[in-house]
Amino acid sequence: MVITVCVAVYFIGANYLIHNLDQKLDIQTSSQSSQNDQSSKIQQSESNSTKDTQDWKLTLVNQNNLIPENYTIEVTELNNGQAIDKRAYPYLQEMMDDARAAGLSPIICSSYRSMEKQTRLFDEQVKGLQNQGKDYVDAVAEAKTAVAYPGTSEHQLGLAVDIVSEDYQLLDEKQEETPEYIWLSKNCSKYGFIVRYPNGKTDITGVIYEPWHFRYVGKEAAQEIMSKGICLEEYLEGSSSSSSAKS
């Protein structure tokens, strides 16, 4: 068996974070906790919709919504030690297999992250911006648009994956020009995935456009979100409004 190695590069100031990740998925399972002791003083928002709290697939995590306390998941591990929620794994595997069958070479560059790893990535982003001359407060604010603050990252849910083209592995907007992204953006909803941070939605999501970041939300929600060109926050807001109108 041949294992393709992906090198995903995150640009941080003058620094690069290089992650060597295997392409082929494995099916080992283990229990992982996405919660370590949090030093953050951020207060958890109560703005999650009723639908969000009832369906694990639609758990909303962003700058205003921390990962629920004591949140744990059972994950399926990739060969490289990365992982995804085992409930989403079959759909991810099917999507990747179908993309490859279409002659494409998508590579998973990141998936489940522990609190420790997310904290490290965020701190390195802040340091890179400070090295560019920004003060700490401004560096933290800007860093949040590129790397989620610890406790607010979807990668900690185990439902998000970063997927790039084998021929273009930089995490930037040019990723949208690759055949892999074009195929994934058109077909991901069939497998229950969405482009989580679409172009033009930063004011809502709080995150810059990321054509490599895909999130599992289930087929029904994914098809509505992608067909309407909305983001998860807008979908949940609409679901909440509809529920209120019916009550």
Report, as residue numbers or ranges, the catalytic residues. Answer: 210
Query: What is the per-residue DSSP string for 34-97?
Result: S-------PPPPS---HHHHH-GGG---BTTBPPPTT-EEEEEEETTS-EEETTTHHHHHHHHH
Give the DSSP letter of residue 188.
Answer: G
CA proximity to 111, closest of 141, 143, 140, 86: 86
Give the DSSP letter of residue 201.
Answer: -
C-alpha distance across the termini of the chain, in Å? 56
Cβ 163 vs Cβ 184: under 8 Å: yes
CA proximity to 49, closest of 246, 244, 237: 237
∠ CA 90-149-215, nearest 5°, is: 20
